[in-house]
Amino acid sequence: MLGAFCLLYSIVLMASFEAVNDLWESTRLLTIEVGLVSLGLSALILIAFFKMLTKDLPMLLREERINGMWDFLFLIPFMALLLISWLTPEYPKYLLVGRYRIIALVVLTLIPLITYLIFIAAKLNSSTSGLSCILLP
- Greater confidence (136 vs 112) lies with 112
Per-residue confidence (pLDDT) for residue 29, from 0 to 100: 64
Q: Hey, what amino acid is at 65?
A: R
- In this model, does residue 123 exceed pLDDT 70? yes
Per-residue pLDDT of 46-102, as tens digits, reads: 888 888 878 877 777 777 766 676 677 777 778 877 877 787 777 777 777 777 778
Name which of 37, 42, 18, 39 is nearest 28 in CA terms. Answer: 18
What is the 3 state secondary structure string of 16-46? HHHHCCCHHHHHCCCCHHHHHHHHHHHHHHH
- Percent of the chain residues topping a pLDDT of 70: 80
Q: How far apart are CA 121 and CA 126, in angstroms?
A: 9
Question: Mean pLDDT across the chain, nearest whole number?
Answer: 75
